[in-house]
Amino acid sequence: MSQKSLRAAIVQQPCTDDRSTNLKMSEEGIRAAAAGGAKLVLLQELHTSLYFCQHESTDLFDLAEAIPGPSTEWLGALARELRLVIVGSLFERRAPGLYHNTAVVLESDGTLAGIYRKMHIPDDPGYYEKFYFTPGDLGFTPIQTSVGKLGVLVCWDQWYPEAARLMALAGADLLLYPTAIGWNPDDPADEQARQRDAWVTIQRSHAVANGLPVLVANRIGFEPDPRGQLAGARFWGHSFAVGPQGEFLAEAGEKPDVLVVDLDLTRSENVRRWWPFLRDRRIDAYGDITRRFRD
């Protein structure tokens, strides 16, 4: 089997309350990725702003924008200039009172190849996303691009094996997770370590279970709770790429970084021949998976 390789990049950055500053950092990362030969660039979740979901405020809906809109035009221009595919993450204003957490994919000619609306929406202290985001209604459908079929999922989606599996069953060539996850600074060090290890492990497991490469982009830096009710969030970074057996290909720390990695997409075919999980699935016995719980 001839090798089909893809050079991909992950941009890890902090964010501020100034949109232009955030876009500048993203652009620097994208250009660095292009200089390194990348043909696909993944940005982190909600990279144009602070992670505003630490509290609930109707004023923050003003951060949302239309798709297509200013950010897709800006990303599209970069994609066209640099001849690469860019996956971004935006706060979408779909209609008055209707908003989504939406990933966008810009093709290398600058056109909008497709979008994915985050399906699983958390609601926890410091992560009040249900106040802002309507759950996605586009299902788990990969987006066709010049570099392959991209199974794009967003942050909280990363904990659900069903989401990764459905993307794989729809023919995704790789899975991508733009993310914003961090620690409560008040948690002890051992608890923080368990949380990050769990986060890495679950996403590596999606690679193993589906025989696909996985790219994860997470933000970094401390962002205070604007209302001072909680300790804020310290986003832990550690963006990474793994191959179809969960093997690490690249991993960042907790500083700004651009990871450039070569993906051998033919390994998915070989790994699935060795470990034919899709062949051996008992689809005749999985009916109860659609139930909330088996009482």
Catalytically annotated residues: 45, 118, 155
Cα–Cα distance between 239 and 148 in angstroms, integer? 21
Rounded Cα gap, residues 37 and 10, in angstroms: 13
Scan for tokens 């550690």, then name that residue. 238
Is 53:128 a contact under the CB 8 Å cutoff?
yes
Structural contact between residues 193 and 230, judged by C-beta atoms closer than 8 angstroms: no
Long-range contacts of 163-167 (CB under 8 A, 24+ apart): 163/119, 163/120, 164/206, 164/209, 164/210, 165/209, 165/210, 166/139, 166/140, 167/140, 167/141, 167/142, 167/210
Query: 164, 175 in Cβ contact below 8 A?
Result: yes
Give 146's contacts (C-beta < 8 A, 6+ positions apart).
Answer: 85, 107, 108
The H or E element containing residue 113 is strand 112-117
